[in-house]
């Protein structure tokens, strides 16, 4: 059977699930778990859909997890999973083959709470969002995945409404809004339990959407309704707005002779995508875990963390401005010189995040293209 090496782990794949292009998300999970362990003094991990066990093993070997529960619903991969996790001391891991919801229910009944719950699901995670909150420790982390790109990116809004409680729409920054849908779904379910979520980081990579949140009892800074709402896109000029809940019926773009109704998507998370303090700690820890190659991505996350809940693809700038697209970095520098915040974004290689109105972005780009 084929073997692969990732980080400090060497695993046999066999007939178990393994997604090679998810290594970045696994690296970030290990970094976050390691930082959590250093801050809290412990790290108990529940890997609810473990596949070949690579994630679970890396949490044990690299993040210093005190205990790892590796669960996968397929009992036929039990031999491969046992072989891979046998690299850990016998008292530091557990293997089960149950539906992941049943695992969460056992945790809740037994009051067996975990510091980090990693859920690398295939398709949409809608059915497990509410239940995973029953198994996480207060202050603990939930790492959620969606690979259901067409639903979460606006192609099937009725399905997104049914699965996430959000009416998604197709527009130029759907990748970001897909991440915000995931966070928003977790946030809304947490509020029902008197809990709150704070994003740690959000990752879009190769049609895989990953969000990590911290579950807390008290929400710092903002109220829930200040971080959960709608984003409107103007189909005429391409600008975005974040309308107040109280005035949704009047949500429009006022940059025209007559107000243009906005195409609304939501409700979804409109607060920060990443926790800058936690990201800084992950950057500081990366070299010691031989994960320094993730520092450029983490640095970009820091830069984009608290900018508005949308971004502008340069292709959209060029299309609407009917011009050659200027170099991204020159456009960012020009916007910053004009007093705006602006940065590249990990969400698209040729896009920017900025608090400048789209009209200003167009004018600045046109001045640079001459």
How far is residue 85's CA from residue 57's CA, in Å, rounded to a whole number? 6
Q: By three-state DSSP, how is residue 111 classified?
A: coil
CB of 240 closer than 8 Å to CB of 232 = yes
Please check whether residues 287 and 316 belong to one and the same domain.
Answer: no
Residues 40 and 84 in one domain: yes
**119 is in which domain, residue-wise?**
3-226+271-304
99/163 same-domain check: yes
CA 79/CA 76 separation, integer angstroms: 7
At residue 222 the predicted structure's pLDDT band, cuts being 50, 70 and 90, is low
Asked if residue 165 is part of any domain, the answer here is: yes
CATH number, position 106: 3.40.50.150
If asked whether residues 296 and 361 sit together in one domain, one would say no
Q: Identify the pLDDT of residue 201.
A: 98
> Is residue 293 assigned to a domain?
yes
pLDDT at residue 177, rounded to an integer: 94
| DSSP characters over 121-158 | -SS--GGGHHHHTTTEEEEEEEEEEE--HHHHTTS-HH
Q: Are residues 201 and 347 in the same domain?
A: no
pLDDT tier, 100 (very low <50, low <70, confident <90, very high otherwise): very high
Separation between Cα atoms, residue 350 and residue 358, nearest integer Å: 16
Residue 155, pLDDT score: 80
Average pLDDT over residues 290-309: 97
Q: What ranges in the chain are assigned the alpha helix state H?
A: 23-40, 54-61, 78-85, 100-110, 129-132, 149-152, 157-164, 174-192, 224-227, 276-285, 295-304, 314-321, 328-337, 358-369
How does pLDDT run across 333-346, given as a tens digit for each residue? 999 999 999 999 99
Average pLDDT over residues 171-200: 93
Which pLDDT band holds residue 16 (cuts at 50, 70, 90)?
confident
**Which residues pair with residue 19 across a beta bridge?**
none
Same domain, 204 and 345: no
Residues 70-98, mean pLDDT to the nearest whole number: 96
* Rg of the Cα atoms in the chain: 21
pLDDT (0 to 100) of residue 15: 87
pLDDT of residue 1: 59
Do 178 and 155 lie in one domain? The reply is yes
From 250, 283, 304, the end of a domain falls on 304
**pLDDT per residue as tens digits for the range 44-55:** 999 999 999 999
Whether 98 and 72 share a structural domain? yes
Q: Which pLDDT score, from 0 to 100, does residue 220 have?
A: 62
Name the average pLDDT for the chain: 93
Overall domain count for the chain: 2
Q: Quick one: pLDDT band at residue 292, thresholds 50, 70, 90?
A: very high
352 and 332 in a single domain? The answer is yes
19 located within any domain: yes
pLDDT of residue 221: 63
As a whole number, mean pLDDT of residues 204-232 equals 87
Considering the domain architecture, whether residues 17 and 129 belong to the same structural domain is answered as: yes
Q: How confident is the model at residue 115 (pLDDT cuts 50, 70, 90)?
A: very high
* pLDDT for position 124: 76
Q: What's the distance, CA 172 to chain centroid?
A: 18
Boundary (domain end) residue, out of 257, 281, 304: 304
């Amino acid at each position: 059977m084929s073997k692969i090496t990732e980080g400090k782990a060497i695993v046999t794949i066999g007939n178990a699930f393994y997604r090679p292009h998810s290594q970045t998300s696994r690296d970030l999970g290990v970094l976050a778990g390691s930082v959590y362990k250093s801050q809290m003094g412990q790290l108990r991990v529940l890997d609810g859909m473990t596949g070949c066990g690579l994630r679970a093993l890396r949490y044990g070997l690299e993040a210093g997890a005190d205990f790892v529960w590796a669960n996968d619903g397929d009992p036929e991969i039990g031999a491969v999973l046992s072989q891979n996790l046998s690299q850990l001391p016998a008292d530091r891991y557990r293997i089960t083959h149950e539906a992941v919801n049943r695992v969460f229910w056992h945790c809740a009944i037994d009051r067996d709470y975990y510091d980090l719950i990693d859920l690398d699901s295939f398709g949409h995670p809608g059915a497990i969002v509410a239940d995973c909150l029953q198994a996480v420790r207060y202050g603990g982390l939930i790492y959620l995945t969606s690979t259901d790109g067409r639903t979460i990116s606006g192609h099937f809004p009725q399905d997104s409404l049914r699965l996430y409680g959000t009416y998604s729409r197709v527009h130029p920054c759907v990748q970001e809004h897909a991440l915000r849908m995931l966070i928003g779904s977790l946030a809304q379910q947490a509020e029902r339990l008197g809990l709150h979520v704070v994003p740690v980081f959000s990752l879009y990579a190769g049609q895989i959407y990953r969000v990590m949140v911290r579950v807390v009892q008290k929400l710092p800074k903002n109220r829930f309704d200040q971080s959960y709402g709608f984003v409107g896109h103007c189909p005429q000029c391409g600008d975005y707005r974040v309308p107040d809940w109280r005035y949704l019926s009047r949500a429009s773009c006022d940059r025209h002779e007559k107000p243009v109704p906005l195409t609304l998507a939501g409700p979804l998370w409109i607060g920060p995508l990443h926790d800058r303090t936690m990201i800084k700690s992950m950057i500081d820890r990366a070299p010691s875990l031989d994960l320094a190659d993730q520092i450029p991505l983490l640095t970009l996350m820091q830069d984009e963390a608290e900018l508005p809940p949308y971004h502008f693809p340069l292709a959209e700038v060029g299309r609407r401005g009917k011009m050659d697209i200027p170099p991204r970095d020159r456009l960012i520098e020009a916007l910053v010189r004009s007093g705006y915040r602006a940065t590249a974004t990990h969400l698209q290689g040729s896009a920017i995040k900025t608090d400048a109105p789209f009209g200003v972005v167009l004018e600045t780009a046109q001045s640079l293209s001459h």
